[in-house]
Amino acid sequence: MIKFMAANVFKYTKAIVSGIPNSLAATAVRMDGSDEPVNLEKARQQHKNYVQVLTELVGEIHIIPADEQFPDCVFVEDPVVVCGDTALVTSPGHKSRGGETVAMKEAVTKLGLNVVEMTEPGRMDGGDVLFTGREFFVGQSARTNEEGLKQLAAAFPSYPVTGVKVIDSCLHLKSMMSMVVPDNISIGGTSQAAAVAKEIMERDGHFKYNFLSVPDDFGANCLFVNGTVVYVSKEPYPKSFEVFEKLSLPGFSEKIAVNISELHKVDGCLTCCSVLIN
Ligand code: GLY
């Protein structure tokens, strides 16, 4: 079991992203009650900017072409979990997303990663997997089951794995939290997010973390890439934006706000749109 965080754990040299299919606007999976129309042109412009920022941070970007059969395919984080040189190709938990694994398996195989495939009855969306650099927390959501957690633990045996119950009104564990910088986790403002941090992660986790409280759950989702924190823009989360604007934690060299407001409408967050590889 790992005791010290490897120095290169949040250092990335490549990222995988996907194009946005037209089908996203009408048929992407949404949480109940969310029906705001998506402006596809704006979504693609925002996504292009996101990819541009990642390109500057990691250098090499692999683009999986948009596939109209899979409205949610831009959310590449869900069909795979990559840690070190192993890629666990998951069994996504929503039936409309299962086929996304074919293109993802091809992409991670081409990149030379050791590919492990989840098998029945395992279910997992990568959005439920928070890797802290020392251990995994896995959301037990409507998309990820106990068997999925067991298969993740077998794929990455060097790290402890702890399950975290996520209620159905929250899509994924990382729909309310993410790593900001090493040993610091940003946590959304709902009572569920606070309870997960205090009552589960602090109690059951194997290491201690600082929690950064962020007003919005989606606003708490950020990326930490090669020393830079990539966080939500003023639109649509002005209060969360402000928290990151004032961020004074040690451990990062730059920060940049990126607007993906159109993808937020279909429950996407910043981490959902890329797979980072180190
Ligand atoms: N729209 C993202 C998902 O439900 O998987």
Q: What is the pLDDT of residues 65-113, one digit of tens each?
A: 999 999 999 999 999 999 999 999 999 999 999 999 999 999 999 999 9
Cis ω for the linkage preceding 121 (within 30 of 0): yes
Which protein residues touch ligand 1 with a CB less than 6 Å away?
A: 28-29, 72, 75, 94, 97, 171, 266-267
Total domains in the chain come to 1
pTM as predicted: 0.97
The pLDDT score that the predictor gives to residue 3 is 56
Q: At 191, which CATH number?
A: 3.75.10.10
Q: What is the pLDDT of residues 143-177, one digit of tens each?
A: 999 999 999 999 999 999 999 998 877 899 999 99
- The rounded distance, in Å, linking the Cα atoms of 224 and 168 is 27
Per the annotation, the verdict on 272 as an active-site residue is yes
Examine the pLDDT at 4 and tell me if it is beyond 90: no
Domain that holds residue 21: 2-277
* Candidate from 77, 267, 269, 270 with most ligand 1 atoms within 8 A of CB, to mutate: 267
* For range 230-240, the mean pLDDT: 97
Per residue, the 3-state secondary structure of 105-142, as one string, reads HHHHHHCCCEEEECCCCCCCCHHHEEECCCCEEEEECC
Per the annotation, the verdict on 94 as an active-site residue is no
